[in-house]
């Protein structure tokens, strides 16, 4: 696909997102996770620093009570623990439990291996282009999502 149009790229990204969602649905169903619970678990797992319930609520665009319900379900399932910050006992941090990490690793390792095999023929330059494409596409999606979820931000951009 040497002459991929914006439309072609958009459709390929959409197909990737749909396949990824379908793959995640298998994991979610196998572990009785609601899609929001799965999203929350992924956000907590991939956070660069310990996530708090408030930060999770903002990331999920949920109320505090709805976020509490998500965290209660994840805690009951043995996926997440709420822990007090040792330096500030008022602050609660969320931690993915090791059993949940083991489950996720076992499930996602075949996909990681398949990705690795699919990308093995890409040169370093090709990988740099793909990485830049994915990063800019993700950023563009986040910008539109944020503007869509906050109409005031969309008005400011115009």
Residue 155 has pLDDT above 70, yes or no: no
pLDDT digits over 109-146, tens only? 999 999 999 999 999 999 999 999 999 999 999 899 88
Measured torsion, CA atoms of residues 87, 46, 129, 123, in degrees rounded to the nearest 10: 100
Is the pTM above the cut of 0.95? Answer: no
Work out the pLDDT band at 8, boundaries 50, 70, 90: very high
Beta strands in the chain (DSSP E): 80-85, 88-96
pLDDT digits over 32-87, tens only? 889 899 999 999 999 998 999 999 999 999 999 999 999 999 999 999 999 998 88
């Amino acid at each position: 696909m040497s002459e991929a149009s914006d439309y072609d790229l958009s459709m390929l990204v959409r197909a990737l997102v749909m396949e990824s969602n379908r793959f995640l649905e298998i994991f979610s169903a196998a572990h009785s996770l609601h899609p929001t619970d799965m999203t929350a678990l992924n956000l907590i797992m991939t956070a660069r620093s310990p996530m708090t319930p408030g930060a999770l609520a903002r990331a999920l665009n949920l109320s505090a009570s709805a976020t509490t319900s998500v965290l209660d379900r994840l805690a009951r399932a043995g996926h997440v623990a709420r822990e007090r910050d040792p330096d500030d006992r008022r602050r609660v941090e969320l931690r993915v439990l090791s059993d949940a990490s083991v489950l996720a690793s076992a499930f996602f390792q075949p996909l990681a291996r398949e990705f690795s095999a699919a990308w093995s023929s890409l040169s370093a330059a090709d990988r740099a282009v793909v990485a830049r494409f994915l990063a800019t596409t993700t950023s563009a999606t986040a910008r539109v999502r944020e503007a869509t979820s906050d109409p005031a931000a969309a008005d400011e951009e115009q």
